[in-house]
Structure formats: structure tokens, C-alpha cells
Amino acid sequence: MADFKHFDEMFGAGEPSREPYRDYHQWFESQDAAWLHRKSDEAETVFRKIGITFNVYGEEEASERLIPFDVVPRIISSREWSRLVRGIRQRIQALNAFLYDVYHRKEIFRAGRIPVELIANNDAFLPQMIGVSPPGNVYTHVVGVDIVRTGEDEFYVLEDNARTPSGVSYMLENREIMLQMFPELFARVNVQAVGNYPKNLRRSLGNCAPRSGEGTPVIAVLTPGMYNSAYFEHAFLAAQMGAELVEGHDLRVVDGRIAMRTTQGYAPIDVIYRRVDDDYLDPLNFNPQSLLGVPGLFDVYRAGGVTIANAPGTGIADDKAIYSYMPDIVQFYTGEKAMLKNVPTWRCREPDSLRYVLDHLSELVVKEVHGSGGYGMLIGPAASNKELAAFRDKLKATPGKYIAQPTLSLSTTPILTKNGLDPRHVDLRIFALTAPNEIHMTPGGLTRVALNKGSLVVNSSQGGGTKDTWVLEE
């Protein structure tokens, strides 16, 4: 039943199911297949009714699409989870120390651990942030760490999404829908709750407010607007936190603070949880063409009048070229060896690596250094000769734009198909919140699943779906 070329999280090396899945699998086996399929359809109807959709750019017809949802949960044991938590916590500490260093004394470059050109020629490096210390020295208020698994004990960090990671609303809604569809399951299996995420987000952001102790901090979620692909999530989080959902044109600088236009005049804001890119924050300080930002926002920020989460300039830390140095970065700032592995990465800017990549292109995954969403990437083993040749030319023309990684044998978890359970490749995004003295992770996450058999691409924009992710109680 399972495809044993890859590690299957439900069946491992074969029946019976692995320990974390035992109770679930027993339950599953005792269910009527037709009923499960009905439930699966029901879930889709609910998603559509409550409007949990994402927008796809460039598609006018179905501009609001549903992300397919699979009703079989992805299950993680508490032991596996605590290992991930320790590893991610260490990484995030290192990331924040690195960011502070990048924009202050640049020790790591002086020590020769990372070539300074990597930031000198990098669009994600924000010169405006040099010498600026964000409140509590927190840069990465919200991180979405992408984890992939290849074996019983093999976990890799694929990406540290430290800019404005999205997907957390799916973590919450997927659980909500599972609770609605299969309430009896939650009486049977002890699953840790994820529902506190908005409350924790609110607390964590509040702890990063610039003038703590002056009453409850006012938090606003800054969205580019309803046509943004993640608008649903922006609205969802604002509603769940009891925060206002604002756009640039709702805000202006009033008496040295950022204030929002309310029905009773302008009211100051302490923390802006922004879901817009750095470029669109402030047309005076960044992209002058932007209509989305707030003129003068960055000046207020620099003067300590408002917290921007995540901090501007954070993108330098989740740049794919910097990523390859993460083991060194963790070691340099924490004095410890990185607990979670990095995926081996060839930086095509280095001639030796480029040569290797060109020679082994059909075995590798090549990504744009600044890309995201699975666009502009090459999956060697799945590519045609023509695609390989085209990519070879691109690599030769601008090698600095690319990195390459081996195609990992991603773990699988079964999905419900017409023929019963069938394995599909998955990854996992874990959401971590950073406050001055606390890094908090919600026990769960967003499992993305490549619904096409054999496919390794889990991106929702390219045929990926999601699953509820269960972390079991101890």
C-alpha cells in the first residue's frame, strides 16, 4: 500500500502503522469508506461557504480559489515535536542575533565566516536599517519554518521564512473543520490544541511594543488589500486578535506616532503587524512608487514610536544564499552545533559549485535566491531535456541568482483517494513567535501535501493541498 522508496509517516516500513498513527489508523479502518468521502465533500463545502480562499494572480476567472483539504491528519509524536521545538528555537535565536549583527557591527563578516558580498549586493539588505535597534532587538516576530522529513529521525529545515510567512490561518481552520467533521476522533486521540495561536500572537506582539507599560498596546494588521493572495488570512488574524485591519491609506503620522483614521478621529498604534513587503512600507523611505505604504512610517519607527513586525530588513536572513550558511550562523552566535540539519546547498555564485550543478542538473532542485512560492524553480528529475537546457543557459548567464539542492526523498503521508489511503509527499510549516524573552511555537503547523502522485511540489499555487497537523500529547 505505501510506497517504500520513501519514508511513509503512517506505515514506516510497512504495516502495522507507526506508533503516532496507531489510534487514528484503527479508527480509520473501522469507518465506512463512502461516509469518509461524504465527509470530505462536506469539508470542501464548508470551506467555500466560509470563504477560506486564496487569490491567484493572473487568473481572472477563478480568482478566489480553495486550497484542497485532505481529511487524513498528519501526526507527529510529542517526542518528535519537542526535538523540532528545540532546534527551531536555537535557529531563531541565531537569526535574530545575526540580523542585529548585520545591521550593527557585522562581526560575523569580520570574522570571515560569511563573505560580505552576500549582503553588499543583496536587495534584501536594507541600508536604512543600519544602526537601528528594533524594540527588544526582535527582528523575526513571526517565523514560518519549513521542515521536511526523509526518515524516522531525519528532519531538515528547508527554509526559514522570516519575512511575512503566511499559512497560519489554514493551520487554525483545518483544525476547526476536523473538529466539526470528526468530533469523536478528538475524544479518542489526545491532540494538542492549536487554537491559542491568535492569543499568543497578540501577546507576543504586545510584548514587543515600543512603550510597554502604557496600557494595552494597540495592534493593527497592515494588509496590501483584498486582492492580495493572503487577504483572507490578514482579515482572519486581525479578527481573531481583536486588532484593526488597516491599509496604508488608513494610516498617517500624527504627533510623531503612527495613527489610524477612526470614526472618532486619529488613534495611535503601537505595533504594526505588517503583511506587506519592505518596499511597500513607506514611499518616502523606500519605493517612491508605492501607493500601499505610509509616508514617514520609517522615520517614526527609527525614532522608536512604533514596532514593525517583522522588522524591516529581516529578509536578509531568509535569503536562500544566506540559508546555506545557517549552520555557521547558529554556531557563531549560540556557540552550539545546529540541532536541525540544513539541506546541503550549492551556491551557484561559486564557480566550483556551478560546475557541479551544471554537471548534475537532472538530479538537483534549482531555486532562485530571492524566489518564493515554487515559481521559477527547476526540479531536475522531473524536467524535460528542453527545460534542463533552458535552465542551463539561465544558470550560466546569472549564476548568482541561483542555488541548488539535492532532490530530497520527502516523506509521505497517506491521503484519502477513491482507492483508499495512498501516500503523497508532504512538508510542514511550523509557526514560531518571537518576543524579547520568549520564543513560542504552536504545537501543530501547516502540512502541505503534493496531491499529484509522485509530485514533490507542495505549493498551493501548483496543485498542493493541506492537512490538519496533529501533535500528540505526551
Binding site for another protein (CB under 8 A): 48-51, 226, 231, 235-236, 238-239, 243-247, 249-250, 260-265
Q: Shortest CA distance to 149 belongs to which of 9, 2, 312? A: 9
Q: Which is nearer to another protein, 263 or 385 (CB)?
A: 263
Q: Shortest CA distance to 415 belongs to which of 381, 366, 452, 441? A: 452
> Positive or negative CA dihedral for 281, 283, 286, 289?
positive
Burial annotation 122-144 (CB, 10 A radius, 16+ → b, else e): bebbbebbeebebbbebbbbbbb
| N-terminal to C-terminal alpha carbon distance within the chain | 29
CA distance 335 to 143: 22
Residue written as cell 515535536? 81
Residue 203 DSSP SS3: helix
Decide the pairing of beta strands 154-161 and 341-342: parallel
| Residue 264, all three cell numbers | 472618532
Q: Which is nearer to another protein, 247 or 427 (CB)?
A: 247
Say if CB 297 and CB 306 are below 8 A apart.
yes
Report in angstroms how near the CB of residue 42 gets to another protein at its nearest.
15
Q: Which is nearer to another protein, 44 or 250 (CB)?
A: 250
Q: Which is nearer to another protein, 238 or 456 (CB)?
A: 238
Burial annotation 97-106 (CB, 10 A radius, 16+ → b, else e): bbbbbbbeee
Residue 58 DSSP SS3: coil
Q: Which is nearer to another protein, 52 or 185 (CB)?
A: 52
Q: Which is nearer to another protein, 228 or 353 (CB)?
A: 228
CA distance 17 to 12: 7
Report in angstroms how near the CB of residue 363 gets to another protein at its nearest.
45
Q: Which is nearer to another protein, 100 or 231 (CB)?
A: 231
Report in angstroms how near the CB of residue 199 gets to another protein at its nearest.
16
CA distance 223 to 209: 19
Report in angstroms how near the CB of residue 305 gets to another protein at its nearest.
20
Report in angstroms how near the CB of residue 47 gets to another protein at its nearest.
11
Burial (0-12, 13-18, 19+ Cβ within 10 Å), 243:
buried
Q: Which is nearer to another protein, 239 or 390 (CB)?
A: 239
Report in angstroms how near the CB of residue 140 gets to another protein at its nearest.
25
Q: Which is nearer to another protein, 166 or 413 (CB)?
A: 166
Report in angstroms how near the CB of residue 292 gets to another protein at its nearest.
14
Question: Where would I find the H helices in 67-196?
Answer: 78-102, 107-110, 117-120, 168-181, 183-188
Report in angstroms how near the CB of residue 239 gets to another protein at its nearest.
4
Q: Which is nearer to another protein, 167 or 248 (CB)?
A: 248
Q: Shortest CA distance to 228 belongs to which of 295, 171, 277, 272? A: 277
Q: Which is nearer to another protein, 155 or 231 (CB)?
A: 231
Report in angstroms how near the CB of residue 29 gets to another protein at its nearest.
34
Report in angstroms how near the CB of residue 49 gets to another protein at its nearest.
6
Q: Which residues pair with 441 in a beta bridge?
A: 432
Give the C-alpha distances (Å, rounded to integers) separating 18 from 7, 23, 28, 385.
11, 10, 14, 40
Report in angstroms how near the CB of residue 103 gets to another protein at its nearest.
33
Q: Which is nearer to another protein, 245 or 309 (CB)?
A: 245
What is 327-375 written as a DSSP string?
Answer: HHHHHHHHSS--SSEEPP-EETTSHHHHHHHHHTGGGEEEEETT--TTT
Report in angstroms how near the CB of residue 460 gets to another protein at its nearest.
19
